Amino acid sequence: MKLMTQLLAVSSISLRSLPSRAASSAVIVIGTAGVVAVLLSVLALATGLSGALSSTGSPDRAIVLHAQATNEVGSTLAHDSIATILDAPGIAQDAAHRAIGSAEALASVNLPRLDNGKLSSLILRGVSSAELLQLRPELHLVKGRMFESGLREIIVGKEASERYANLGLGGQPNFGGNQWTVVGIFDSGGGAHDSEVLGDADTALAAYQRTTYNSVIVKLAGPGALEKLRAALLHDPTLSVEVNLESAYYERQSQTFASFLTIIARSISTIMAIGAVFAALNTMYSAVSTRSVEIATLRAIGYGAGGVVVSVIVEALVLSLLGAVAGAGLAWAVFDGNTVSSLASNGGLAQIVFHLHIGAALFTLGIVWACVVGLIGGLLPAIRAARIPVALALRAI
């Protein structure tokens, strides 16, 4: 009898007997489903946060921070240095030959959330560019108009306007002891700026009695512009700054938080997977014991030990895959498309709102984990099944 024919036949017999062992088999399915559901839900947080931060930066923009700063929050740039930075080579210019750049100041503000009324933090980003939409073309006003320089007017990210009180069009939140007016709502395409409030930088600095900016964002003139800009600024003795692509900066920020959440997801899932493996071992040992006469009979009529081993492993894998589908389906139904927030933007200054997505990559990862659980859980019982003495098992008939 050909080996492949044996494997298919024995595996088919094993799978057809599953309904008679539904209760014990459900242990593997439920255990694996729990592992996959937890793994995918936490990893969805990591990938959602990482995606929101990564999509914020652009490869045609550069960010200038203080040399010793790791993020915008910890960076301070003196007012006198802004003109020097914006006069450097490598920066794109508008039709009036002005540098397309923005000196920006960040402040953490607290507003009540619409869902529970509790205070929650978000970013007030002061920007100085008269050509804000030229610097950040991904920002699209969906309601209202652009704020005017010198006035306490703000435009609000779409996610922030839907999550916080007083941030709808015409709202008048209090920032820095002053009342501001929401004159526009914008959409940045899912980036971190959707969770922010934008206004005039000098007005924001005055409201918070500050004289220093946090960063300067500039549009690069083209290929090689970053190197020209970096060389000019790093060799200026009056400055102490570092220059990076904005996309690289946000990628670095996202990796920190995504790595942390990934470690948590895998640690919790590993602990749960160990429990699922023991449950699978117990279930499959019980199944082998129940089928000992059947297995011995197959061996007696010419089926090899290899077919028996494969049939037990296949049964464990099938049950684990059913659990993977159930767990992934549960995670998708509960979490996919949900909007959540996390203290993760710009060094933990404020909450960033992002969307969860459980797609093909996470589904595939869940299946891989389920296969590992099934393989480990079925291997030892499979070896035991192959070693059952045929004569001894047949005497029990």
Question: What is the domain extent for residue 209?
Answer: 69-239
Residue 291 maps to a domain: yes
pLDDT at 275 over 70: yes
- Domain boundary residue among 207, 239, 271? 239
154 and 295: one domain?
no
Question: Based on the domain organization, do 224 and 261 belong to the same domain?
Answer: no
d(CA 338, CA 71): 28
Mark which of 216, 239, 262 sits at the end of a domain: 239
Class of residue 297 by CB neighbours under 10 A (exposed 0-12, middle 13-18, buried 19+): middle
Same domain membership, residue 116 and residue 46:
no
What is the reported pLDDT for 349? Answer: 45
Please tell me the pTM assigned to this model. Answer: 0.68
Residue 18 — very low, low, confident or very high, per pLDDT cuts 50/70/90?
A: low
Q: Which of 24-33, 72-81, 293-302, 355-364 has the lowest mean pLDDT?
A: 293-302
Angle between helices 360-386 and 22-54 (to 10 degrees): 150
Query: What pLDDT shows up at residue 352?
Result: 63
Are 93 and 128 within one domain? yes
Q: Concatenated DSSP letters for 141-192?
A: EEEE----TTSSEEEEEHHHHHHBTT-STT---EETTEE-EEEEEEE-SSSG
- pLDDT band at 268; cut points 50, 70, 90: confident
What's the whole-number mean pLDDT along residues 261-278?
Answer: 80
Confidence band of 338 (pLDDT split at 50, 70, 90): low
In this prediction, residue 355 carries a pLDDT of 67
More confident residue, 264 or 122: 122
User: What is the bridge-based pairing of β-strands 119-127 and 101-112?
Assistant: antiparallel
Kindly report which listed range (128-142, 159-173, 196-210) carries the lowest average pLDDT score.
Answer: 128-142
pLDDT at 348 over 50: no
Distance CA 46, CA 48 (A): 6
Of 209, 239, 269, which residue constitutes the final position of a domain? 239
Classify burial at 303, counting beta carbons within 10 Å of its beta carbon; exposed 0-12, middle 13-18, buried 19 or more.
Answer: buried
- Is residue 271 a part of any domain in this protein? yes
Is 304 within the bounds of a domain? yes
pLDDT in tens, 302-334: 556 666 677 777 878 888 888 889 988 888 888
When pLDDT is averaged across residues 212-216 and rounded to a whole number, the result is 95
Tell me the per-residue pLDDT of 164-179, one tens digit each, with 9 for 90 and over: 999 999 999 999 888 9
% of the chain beyond a pLDDT of 90? 32
Are 228 and 346 in the same domain? Answer: no
pLDDT of residue 320: 86
Percent of the chain with pLDDT over 70: 78
Are the C-beta atoms of residues 77 and 106 closer than 8 Å to each other? no
Q: Is a pLDDT exceeding 60 seen at residue 137?
A: yes
Whether residue 184 contacts residue 156, with contact meaning beta carbons closer than 8 Å, is answered with: yes
d(CA 39, CA 338): 17
Residues 49 and 131 both lie in one domain = no
What's the total number of domains in the chain? 2
156 and 268 in a single domain? The answer is: no
Q: Are residues 19 and 135 in the same domain?
A: no
Same domain assignment for residues 171 and 106: yes
**Is residue 41 located within the same domain as residue 83?**
no
The verdict on 294 and 209 lying in the same domain is: no
Q: Does any domain span residue 245?
A: no
Domain membership of residue 247 (yes or no) is: no
Q: Does one domain contain both 204 and 329?
A: no
- Note whether residue 115 is domain-resident: yes
Q: Is residue 62 part of a domain?
A: no
The distance in angstroms from the start CA to the end CA of the chain is 26
Residue with the bigger pLDDT between 304 and 246: it is 246
Residue 245 confidence class, pLDDT cut points 50, 70, 90: very high
Residue 60: per-residue pLDDT: 92
| Degrees, nearest 5: CA angle 252-263-349 | 45
- The predicted structure's pLDDT at residue 393: 45
> Is residue 88 over pLDDT 80?
yes
75 is a domain residue? yes
Residues 94-98: what's their mean pLDDT? 87
**60-64, 96-100, 197-201 — which is least confidently predicted?**
96-100
Say which range, 96-100, 200-204, 282-286, 341-345, has the weakest mean pLDDT.
341-345
Provide the pLDDT for residue 294. Answer: 61
